[in-house]
Each structure stands twice: as structure tokens, then as C-alpha cells.
């Protein structure tokens, strides 16, 4: 049976996560992380993607990316994943797969929902108890969003630009937004939508996309727990 096509819609960001097979490390050292970001930047340029936010964890990644062309994100992620695995295997003298199947993704509505995913991604190292503050973690887009560095990989989303009239105002507003944290309801919503690969946003946004894409995009009620614990596996 053919796989269902990815949920992609021109101009609407996708929250993407991809994990190592059996939760294995996908980054052994900083050279691996630099290589991944270089490949991501190259894929974004070749496929005309806008990368809005990212974090590289030990055994998975989170990205917030948008494109003006349906299908471009899938092609970019395929190229990125294959090139990274080839280099990783060669460098670490290993063979076989590295990623746990296809990446997971969900469409994200504009304004509040996009900024919520920004925050969710960049607070990932804090939730994992790796650092006390998001800016203490090196491999994240948070440093650019807090004005500590310039990151050529990033393209600010319009929702981020709307935080202030200039960079200083945006940094101040985003710092306050980030410090307010992710509450339990928001955390559960973001996790559920990406696990089920749905559309995170208002009901109007979901209904519009359901009519356009002719498929259900609202989160299904939780059923019996999955035996493999997959619902928790990508909820970092």
C-alpha cells in the first residue's frame, strides 16, 4: 500500500522532528552537528526553504521550516537525511540506517501557534534537563532570536518579525515570551499534533486545510496506549 503523501501546503510552516533509530545518537560530537547544519543550509538554499527555528539534540532534531512549493520540504529532508547518514557512517566507520523511519511533521497555523512552536523547540534542552536556560545550549536557533548572534541559516517568520518594530524590540518581546515557558496544555497539543501528523492551529485553519487537502487534520481522541511507547518517543 503506498504511503500517504506528506502534509505540505505552500507558505504554511511545518514543525518537523526526526529521531535516531532505537533512540541512538545521531550526533556524536560537534563536528557532526556542524556538518548537519551545513547540509541543512545547503538543502534550504537548493530547495528554496525558509528555516525559522531549530534545535539539535543528542538523538533527534526539531525544525520549523516553510516553503513556497508543495513537495519541496520532503525533497529537502530526503536529500539532507541521506547525505548526513552517508557522511556520519563514513566518519564513524559504521553501516546501516541512522534515522527511525520517515520524519514526523505537522502543519502550523500563523501568529500564536508559530511562536509557540518556536518556544517549544528552543526550550527542548531545558525540558531535557541539559541546561538551566535555553541560551546555555549551543546548538539551537535561540541565540539569533535573543540577539546574541547572527545565523545565516535562519529566515524569521512574519509572526516573529511582528513582535517588534526593530531587532531590539523583537529580542525583548521574544525573551519575555520564551521566559513564560510552555504550559502543560500547550505541550500536550504540540506533541499530539506532531505524533499524529495533523495541523496545529485554530479550528477554522484545520477545516480550511481539510477541505483543500481532503483528509482529516484534527487530532484524534487518545485511545489505548501504544505498546512501544511511540507517543512519548518523539515528545521531547
**Positions of the chain with pLDDT under 70:** 1-4, 222-235
Say which CATH class 14-206 falls into.
alpha beta
The reported pLDDT for the residue numbered 234 is 44
The reported pLDDT for the residue numbered 232 is 41
d(CA 121, CA 19): 14
d(CA 103, CA 78): 9
d(CA 190, CA 5): 21
The reported pLDDT for the residue numbered 221 is 78
DSSP string of 29-59, one letter each residue: SHHHHHHHHHHHHHHHHHTTEEEEEEEE-SS
The reported pLDDT for the residue numbered 4 is 66
Spell out the residues 6+ positions from residue 135 whose beta carbon is closer than 8 angstroms to its own. 142, 143, 146, 148
The reported pLDDT for the residue numbered 233 is 43
The reported pLDDT for the residue numbered 91 is 96
The reported pLDDT for the residue numbered 224 is 52
C-alpha cell at 166: 526593530
The reported pLDDT for the residue numbered 223 is 57
CB atoms within 10 A of CB 127: 14
| 36: nearest Cα among 14, 62, 11 | 62
| Beta-sheet pairing, 104-108 with 14-19 | antiparallel
What are the sequence ranges of the domains in the chain?
Answer: 14-206
Q: Is pTM beyond 0.85 here?
A: yes
User: CA angle, corner 201, sides to 207 and 156, nearest 5?
Assistant: 130
| 47: nearest Cα among 17, 23, 19, 83 | 83
The reported pLDDT for the residue numbered 229 is 45
Spell out the residues 6+ positions from residue 169 whose beta carbon is closer than 8 angstroms to its own. 163
| 36: nearest Cα among 23, 21, 22, 51 | 51
The residues facing 64 across adjacent strands are 15, 53
| 39: nearest Cα among 90, 103, 83, 78 | 83
Mean pLDDT, the chain, whole residue set: 91
In tens, the pLDDT along 122-151 reads 999 999 999 999 999 999 999 999 999 999
DSSP state of 235: -
The reported pLDDT for the residue numbered 207 is 92
Helices (H) and strands (E) in the chain, counts: 10, 5
The reported pLDDT for the residue numbered 220 is 84
DSSP state of 176: H
Amino acid at each position: 500500500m503506498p504511503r500517504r503523501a506528506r502534509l505540505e501546503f505552500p507558505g504554511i510552516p511545518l514543525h518537523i522532528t526526526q529521531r535516531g533509530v532505537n533512540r541512538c545518537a545521531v550526533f556524536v560530537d560537534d563536528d557532526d552537528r556542524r556538518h548537519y547544519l551545513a547540509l541543512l543550509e545547503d538543502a534550504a538554499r537548493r530547495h528554496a526553504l525558509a528555516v525559522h527555528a531549530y534545535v539539535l539534540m543528542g538523538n533527534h532534531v526539531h525544525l520549523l521550516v516553510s516553503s513556497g512549493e508543495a513537495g519541496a520540504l520532503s525533497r529537502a529532508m530526503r536529500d539532507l537525511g541521506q547525505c548526513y547518514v552517508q557522511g556520519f557512517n563514513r566518519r564513524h566507520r559504521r553501516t546501516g540506517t541512522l534515522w527511525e523511519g520517515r520524519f514526523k511533521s505537522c502543519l502550523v497555523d500563523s501568529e500564536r501557534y508559530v511562536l509557540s512552536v518556536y518556544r517549544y523547540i528552543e526550550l527542548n534542552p531545558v525540558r531535557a534537563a541539559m541546561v538551566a536556560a535555553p541560551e546555555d545550549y549551543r546548538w539551537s536557533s535561540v541565540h539569533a532570536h535573543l540577539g546574541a548572534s547572527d545565523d545565516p541559516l535562519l529566515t524569521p517568520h512574519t509572526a516573529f518579525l511582528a513582535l517588534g518594530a526593530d531587532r531590539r524590540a523583537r529580542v525583548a518581546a521574544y525573551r519575555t515570551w520564551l521566559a513564560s515557558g510552555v504550559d502543560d496544555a500547550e505541550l500536550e497539543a504540540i506533541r499530539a499534533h506532531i505524533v499524529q501528523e495533523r495541523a496545529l492551529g485554530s479550528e477554522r485553519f484545520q477545516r480550511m486545510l481539510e477541505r483543500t487537502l481532503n483528509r482529516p487534520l484534527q487530532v484524534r481522541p487518545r485511545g489505548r496506549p501504544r505498546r512501544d511507547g511511540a507517543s512519548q518517543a518523539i515528545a521531547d
